[in-house]
Amino acid sequence: MDLNTKVCVITGVGAGIGAAIADVFSQYGAHVIGLEKDRVSLNRTAERIAARGGSLYAICTDVSSEASVRSAFQEITSRYQTIDVLVNNVGLEFYKDFVSVSVEDWEHQLGVNLRSVFLCCSHVVPLMMKAGHGAIINTASVQAFATTGQTAPYAAAKAGVLGLTRDMARDLGPHHIRVNAVCPGCISTPMMERSLSRNGDASSARQKMQSAIPLRRLGNPAEIANAVAFLASDLASYISGVALVVDGGLLAQLPVT
């Protein structure tokens, strides 16, 4: 895959899948711009990529804030003029029984997981339309299809990401802009580690999770990053409106009777 010279914006690059996407894109020769709210983790990712011979143009951004997103994309366009690829990866998950979910919980989860996708796309799409090409990849989740429970706002937001992806693929196809989603399953990230630890026995929870996955292991962030790189590349030139599930076979099975 060749992303050489393509200008690629990736959100949520501080850790986990976002950091892996930034790393892989850099390895494939892209000009990578990373948006991340946490400056410490943002700088850590940039330093790690630089140590491997790549580069990351880092912009501290709250992608759930319209003003922050506008400022970030003004900075990007003043430096690069155009954007070839947008990866809306940022994500935030939490666990609460539905009856305990507050309006504040709901608004925060949808702000980070869904509003951010709309905001970033609203700034990128006019540039892509002017250029006559572009690729947008949105990170959804297997929880958009089936949930573990206690994730109502997250699951709703990720299902919304899929709906937005399909509609944008329909509307933007005539402008030669492809829009796809990648749906990770159980991936070994800091967010997953927090999930495994929430009931105290992380080791037991990990073993139980792995036993439920046909491939009998958690995925690693680079495996999602490679799928995203494929969707961003010209190898996927006729793929649009797709929700690519990368879950080790998790959703392919029925319950054992």
Q: Kindly report the number of other CB atoms within 10 A of residue 67's CB atom.
A: 9
Q: Kindly report the number of other CB atoms within 10 A of residue 159's CB atom.
A: 17
Q: Kindly report the number of other CB atoms within 10 A of residue 225's CB atom.
A: 24
φ/ψ of 100, rounded to 5, equals: -100, -5
Q: 219 with 247: CB under 8 angstroms?
A: yes
CA 105 centroid distance within chain: 20
Residue 103, C-beta contacts closer than 8 angstroms, at least 6 positions apart: none
What letter represents residue 135's amino acid? A
What is the spatial distance between Cα 109 and Cα 50, in angstroms, rounded to a whole number?
A: 32
**Dihedral sign for Cα atoms in the order 232, 172, 130, 78:** negative
154 is catalytic: yes
Residue among 28, 57, 95, 154 flagged as catalytic: 154
Question: Which residues are identified as catalytic?
Answer: 154
